[in-house]
Amino acid sequence: MDYALVIRHGTVVTASDTFQADLGIRDGRIAAIAAGLPRGQQEIDASGLQVLPGGVDVHTHLDAPVGDVVTVDDFESGTAAAACGGITTICDYAWQQPGQTIAQAIDTWQAKARSRAHIDYGFHVILSDAGPERLAELPAMVAAGYPSYKVFLISEFGIGDPAILRLLAAARACGAIVNVHCENGAMLDFVAQRLLAQGKRDPRYYAESRPALAETEATERIIRYAELLDAEIYIVHLSCQGALEAVRAARRRGLRVWAETRPIYLALTEERYQVGGVEAAKLVGAPPLRSPADQAALWEGLRSGDIVAIGSDNTSWTPEQKAAGRDDFTRVPYGVPGLETELRVIYSEGVSKGRISANTFVAVFATNPARIFGLYPRKGTIAVGSDADLVLFDPRRTERLDERRLHSRAGYDPFHGFEVAGWPVLTLSRGEVIAREGELLSRPGRGQLLLRHRKS
């Protein structure tokens, strides 16, 4: 058998197994997994390295307008950062604007990505309305490869609970999954206004303005809505123990509820806001950083399988953009960068420190998100027939993260200065080496649109 590339002597790690094998790659896919494969046209020696599936980050916001500002990372810089960090697939959020059809929203985002993306990409759709015309589009859009939609339970982008119920019913009928941002908007608005009235305006008060109780209530509520309608939901960026307990209870009842968390919640806690000012604003995301007890609960949720995925929620702003809220935390744009550093931070904090196994790490960073969103087994695993999206990873290498060496245009990273144990040496996408030792070797526009079809 003639292979374009053979990767030899590596330790292959999947969500379920760890074993020594060579990988034979042909036409961008894994063609053989065995010891002692015939010589390939090209060879890579992976001795001493783990061979992981490329990361599948199903929660990014690239080239996204929010109000009158636009995230600084577009599909070129964002996917360059991803490639250098071992992420080989993303699902970004196409934001449907009022009056726009779902198809038009996807066309808008595809135009942003088509000539820029270094890695393969799919789209979820954020719905700004769920009227009869939009819901009537769902069956055709799901059939076309767009089976996931997002709504918010916060005031800024919310569509109201009656509309969410209608969406859940329509999604259930056509096999779509609904992604939900869970925070009680009325509670957040009340607490924020009270803090502002007390003169507590600095970003140091941001975590106080978004209490965990608001996230817990909204999570419980959307689960009850899903239970009523037998709908499938995906809780994005879960950050606190109360919300996790709601998810755990729902899963014990047999409900189709999935939960994702973010690297910043697993590696940082709310005391990081105490510095105040722009430095605190840099870490403003929604929900905010939580307590050490919440963080410990999230790690336990990963171990138990009640949290099934990690997504960066990468939303990149510059310090200058963040500074708009230095005197009023409500004006800080939500979001932090993290596509380039998430994999190594969670490996270091999780696998290297014994909190989770390497197999669980692969499950939450690649296999589970690929399964949930209709990408598996093309993406998210190492198997014959799967795309050769791979990361050669050195689990023993220790390095210090330096935001000055990263590819995000934000110019900063929440994990700057972290000493991490574990390092991506080489990233391959469909059998092509696209990054080596933090150096981008790809070209803009090589990434392909992924149409997704979920198994019900």
For 114-173, the pLDDT digits (tens) are 999 999 999 999 999 999 999 999 999 999 999 999 999 999 999 999 999 999 999 999
pLDDT bucket at 367, cuts 50 / 70 / 90: very high
Give me the percent of the chain exceeding a pLDDT of 90.
98
Residue 205 has pLDDT above 80, yes or no: yes
- Kindly state whether residue 66 falls inside one of the protein's structural domains: yes
State the residue range of the domain holding 427: 5-52+384-440
Residues 307 and 325 placed together within one structural domain of the fold? yes
**Residue finishing a domain among 372, 405, 424:** 372
31 and 68 belong to one structural domain: no
Number of structural domains in the chain: 2
- For residue 235, the surrounding DSSP H or E stretch is strand 233-235
| pLDDT: which is higher, 455 or 217 | 217
Split at pLDDT 50, 70, 90, the class of 456 is low
132-144 vs 161-174: helix axis angle to the nearest 10?
Answer: 30
Q: Which two tokens stand for residue 80?
A: 């360059």
Banded pLDDT at 66 (limits 50, 70, 90): confident
Residue 333 DSSP symbol: P
The mean pLDDT of 205-209, rounded to a whole number, is 98
- When pLDDT is averaged across residues 364-389 and rounded to a whole number, the result is 98
287: nearest Cα among 336, 226, 248, 355: 336
* Residues near 107 by beta carbon (within 8 Å), at least 6 away in sequence: none
The yes-or-no verdict on residue 289 having pLDDT over 70 is yes
Q: Is-contact 393 423, C-beta < 8 A?
A: yes
* Predicted local confidence at residue 67, as pLDDT: 82
DSSP secondary structure string, 13-57?
E-SS-EEEEEEEEETTEEEEEESSPPPPSEEEE-TT-EEEEPEEE
Domain boundary, last residue among 349, 372, 395: 372
Query: From the CB of residue 253, how many other CB atoms can be counted at a distance below 10 Å?
Result: 10
- β-pairing, 65-66 with 120-126? unpaired
Q: Per the domain annotation, does 377 fall within a domain?
A: no
**For a pLDDT cut of 70, what percent of the chain falls above it?**
100
- 261 and 123, same structural domain? yes
Residue 68: predicted pLDDT: 85
Residue 334 has pLDDT above 90, yes or no: yes
Inside any domain, residue 401:
yes
Same domain assignment for residues 81 and 222: yes
| Residues 236 and 310 both lie in one domain | yes
The answer as to whether 446 is a domain residue is no
Q: Is the pLDDT of residue 359 over 70?
A: yes
- Please indicate, yes or no, if residue 423 is contained in any of the structural domains: yes
Q: What is the pLDDT of residue 350?
A: 98
pLDDT in tens, 402-421: 999 999 999 999 999 999 99
Does 340 lie in the same domain as 211?
Answer: yes
Name the average pLDDT for the chain.
97
Cβ atoms of residues 282 and 254 within 8 Å: no
How big is the chain, counted in residues?
456
Report if residue 306 sits inside a domain.
yes
Residue 215 lies in a domain: yes
The enclosing domain of 194 has a CATH number of 3.20.20.140
Q: Please check the confidence at residue 378 and state whether its pLDDT lies above 90.
A: yes
Same domain, 27 and 143: no
Same structural domain, 111 and 46: no
CATH number at residue 412: 2.30.40.10
